[in-house]
Homo-oligomer: A and B are copies of this chain.
Amino acid sequence: AQSGTGQLQEQKKGLLIAVSASVDKIISHFGAARNLVQKAQLGDSRLSPDVGHLVLTTLCPALHALVADGLKPFRKDLITGQRRSSPWSVVEASVKPGSSARSLGTLYGQVSRLALLRSSRSRFHAFILGLLNTKQLELWFSSLQEDAGLLSLLYLPTGFFSLARGGCPSLSTELLLLLQPLSVLTFHLDLLFEHHHHLPLGLP
């Protein structure tokens, strides 16, 4: 059992390492700026498309893997009996009015109305871009982590967020620490960047 737990922890650390590597790349993209205005220009996907590519090819997949980890494949649904789960359905479930911050609900509404985003993966990516724009990445992960009822509904006990909530709180602390530097940067990312640049990421 011990070595099983060890293996599990190693696998979760692997998920965090991918996030960390991506954050490092993004921070170094901003390294050349001499002041806050130049920094803001480097975070604008229209002036600096590189930042859009960087976020979509490194950070989005790393966070998608994290949110997908240990997700139960289906959720009971009143109408259809059951619905397939995905990181985007985690977003949907996490922004119920009252349980989380109103600003997260506003962003969720904005992304849901983007008819050009057809796959649930591209919606999840757009939500991450929006969290960067509004400097709410930590807030969303923190609100997910706080919602014990939701986590037990959506995740297996071996999932990253279940473990972070239960036996391994350091996972949660470490994730928030990794994301913190991104909140200092100003992003102005086109939520439809992936669609406009025809990036081949839009798997279902």
Q: Which residues of A does B touch, CB under 8 Å?
A: 35-37, 40-41, 44, 46-47, 100-103, 133-136, 138-139, 142-143, 146, 183-184, 186, 188
**How far apart sit A40 and B142, CA to CA, in the bound complex (Å)?**
11
The A interface is mostly helix, strand or loop, or mixed, namely helix
How often does this chain occur in the complex, in copies?
2
Residues of B within 8 A of A101 (CB): 37, 40-41, 44, 186, 188
Residues of B within 8 A of A146 (CB): 35, 37
- Is B184 touching A37 in the complex (CB atoms < 8 A)? no
- Given that A44-B101, A46-B102, A102-B44 are known contacts, is A136 also in contact with B37, CB under 8 Å in the complex? no
Contact of A100 among B37, B134, B139 (CB under 8 A): B37
- Chain B residue, CB-CB nearest to A104: B40
Contact of A139 among B40, B102, B136 (CB under 8 A): B40
**How far apart sit A190 and B135, CA to CA, in the bound complex (Å)?**
18
- Is A142 touching B188 in the complex (CB atoms < 8 A)? no
- Chain B residue, CB-CB nearest to A103: B188
- Is B41 touching A186 in the complex (CB atoms < 8 A)? no
Residues of B within 8 A of A47 (CB): 102
- Chain B residue, CB-CB nearest to A184: B183
**How far apart sit A182 and B184, CA to CA, in the bound complex (Å)?**
11
Contact of A134 among B35, B102, B134 (CB under 8 A): B134
- Given that A102-B44, A102-B46 are known contacts, is A139 also in contact with B37, CB under 8 Å in the complex? yes
Query: A100 → chain B, closest Cβ, in Å?
Result: 6
**How far apart sit A19 and B155, CA to CA, in the bound complex (Å)?**
46
**How far apart sit A195 and B46, CA to CA, in the bound complex (Å)?**
35
